[in-house]
Amino acid sequence: MSVLYRRILLKLSGEALLGSQEYGIDPAALRTFATDVKEAYDLGVEIGIVFGGGNIFRGVQAAAAGIDQVSGDQMGMLATVINCIAFQNALEELGVPTRLQTAIRMEQIAEAFIRRRAIRHLEKRRVVLFGAGTGNPFFTTDTAAILRAVEIEAQAVLKGTRVDGVYDKDPEIHTDAVRFDEISYTEAHRRGLRVMDLTAITMAQENNIPILVFNMNERGNLKRLLMGENVATIVRS
């Protein structure tokens, strides 16, 4: 069965795991996303995953509460690990072998991130979850996703969002928003479109890694994307 990409990095926001809840992790959302990933895995695709941690903690929340940004970002990194552990459990319940690697050493919970080991896991048909962002404050999980994609030699970064691609303005507010099938990194930045932060976009452009933005909340979209259906906006040179 032919697929667009054989090795991908899937970027999911922490908010994706909220489901119908105001905070935390919704077990139903967890199972739904895990089922989508299993479908992609069953196509023979090698999958790395980076989660955000916004459903549990955000550095901006910490700043508002008087916590310095470094401490807040470190707390956010730990939140991403919680999401990874939950998703790892959901995948393994579906029979998908996994490994969790973190940018911060925590041996009792996960492996330390080692590039060659991560690639070997992928080659052995294990889904690899990357937690704790880059391990450094001031960098977003979008940047962590592009960085890991470069390191594992992924062919594309697939960013799951609440909408089916990139629009010229927010489609949840403006009914006349226009969707792009394809847009360049430079044009996306020039228009101020919030595909990813500037550091992430620049790194993707420099390493020629396409970013595909799609609606992860629609069941089966990940498989459709990989099979070549037009369910995403592709950002590339």
137 domain residue, yes or no: yes
Do the beta carbons of residue 137 and residue 70 sit within 8 Å?
yes
What percent of the chain stands above pLDDT 70?
97
pLDDT for residue 62: 60
List phi, psi (to 5°) of 101.
Answer: -120, 140
pLDDT for residue 60: 57
Q: What is the pLDDT of residues 19-78, one digit of tens each?
A: 888 889 999 999 999 999 999 999 999 999 999 999 998 755 665 677 888 988 999 999
Give me the mean pLDDT over the 86-91 stretch: 98
pTM of this prediction? 0.95
For residue 76 the two structure tokens come to: 């956010």
pLDDT band at residue 228 under the 50/70/90 scheme: very high
What percent of the chain stands above pLDDT 90?
84
Full domain range(s) for residue 156:
7-235
Give me the mean pLDDT over the 84-97 stretch: 98
159 domain residue, yes or no: yes
Provide the mean pLDDT of the chain: 94
Q: What is the pLDDT of residues 201-226, one digit of tens each?
A: 999 999 999 999 999 999 999 999 99
- Write the DSSP symbol of residue 184: -
Question: How many separate domains does the chain show?
Answer: 1
Give me the mean pLDDT over the 152-170 stretch: 95
The residue ranking higher by pLDDT, 236 or 22, is 236
Distance (Å, whole) CA 126 – CA 47: 8
Question: What is the CATH classification number for the domain harbouring 21?
Answer: 3.40.1160.10
| DSSP per residue, 86-121 | HHHHHHHHTT--EEEEESS--TTT-EEP-HHHHHHH
pLDDT for residue 66: 79
Distance (Å, whole) CA 115 – CA 107: 17
For residue 135 the two structure tokens come to: 């391990």
Distances from the Cα of 77 to the Cα of 59, 69, 95, 145, 222, angstroms: 9, 12, 27, 13, 26
2 domain residue, yes or no: no
1 domain residue, yes or no: no
Distance (Å, whole) CA 227 – CA 165: 17
CA dihedral of residues 175, 177, 178, 184 (deg, nearest 10): -160
39 domain residue, yes or no: yes
pLDDT for residue 194: 84
Q: Identify the residue whose tokens are 């962590």.
A: 144
pLDDT for residue 183: 97
